[in-house]
Amino acid sequence: MTIRSTTASDLKDVLRINEQAFGQDDEARLVEAMLRDPSAEPRVSLMALDEDDPVGFILFSAARLDGPESPASAAILAPLAVVPEAQKQGIGGRLIRAGLDDLAEAGIGLVFVLGHPDYYPRHGFEPAGQYGLRAPYPIAPEHEGAWMVQALKPGLIGTLQGTVTCCKALDKPEYWQE
């Protein structure tokens, strides 16, 4: 398994991975928009390859925390996609770890995700709402545990509060319904 940064020539494979992983093209269209959105920069876009076969993709886009004190840079993980035949083999976890390592190296302080509350805590994420870290749009109470955060710099969790602002391509209420 190899994980590497994507290039412009990978777009077709990136879209295919997302279409297969989600069984529709909604996420693929969102990914394409986010990859073209200058407000998503800096971003980390990674692909997992099994030999030469692209089987997984993860995207982290720039975000910021709007609050009384917001010295931390941030990113949002969206989406994580692994083709069905390669799922449950640890590829998603390896993509998450590689992306978090790249973000930490770049000095990013916080990473947010709206995702499955049974999956992402295994990779160091915890509910963000308990710390006063709000999603760009309100999360329904029954799904508030799906809005999660991970600090890449010690001492940030519990010291900052506010609402996360995401890139323009992701800034639509329908993307924040879990």
Could you report the per-residue pLDDT of 169-178, keeping only the tens digit for each?
Answer: 999 999 987 6
Backbone angles phi and psi of 84, in degrees to 5:
-50, -40
Report the pLDDT value the prediction gives residue 70, as an integer from 0 to 100.
Answer: 56
Cβ atoms 162, 68 nearer than 8 A:
yes
pLDDT digits (tens, 9 = 90+) for 74-126: 999 999 999 999 999 999 999 999 999 999 999 999 999 999 999 999 999 99
Cis peptide before 42 (omega within 30 of 0): yes
Residue 78, helix vs strand vs coil: strand
Cis peptide before 79 (omega within 30 of 0): yes
pLDDT digits (tens, 9 = 90+) for 26-85: 999 999 999 999 999 999 999 999 999 999 999 999 999 886 665 568 999 999 999 999
Report the pLDDT value the prediction gives residue 62, as an integer from 0 to 100.
Answer: 96
Q: How far apart are CA 146 and CA 158, in angstroms?
A: 18
Backbone angles phi and psi of 4, in degrees to 5:
-145, 160
Domain spanning 2-173: which superfamily? Gcn5-related N-acetyltransferase (GNAT) (3.40.630.30)
Q: Helices (DSSP H) in the chain: which residue ranges?
A: 11-22, 26-36, 91-105
Run of H or E including 81: strand 73-82
The pTM score is 0.95
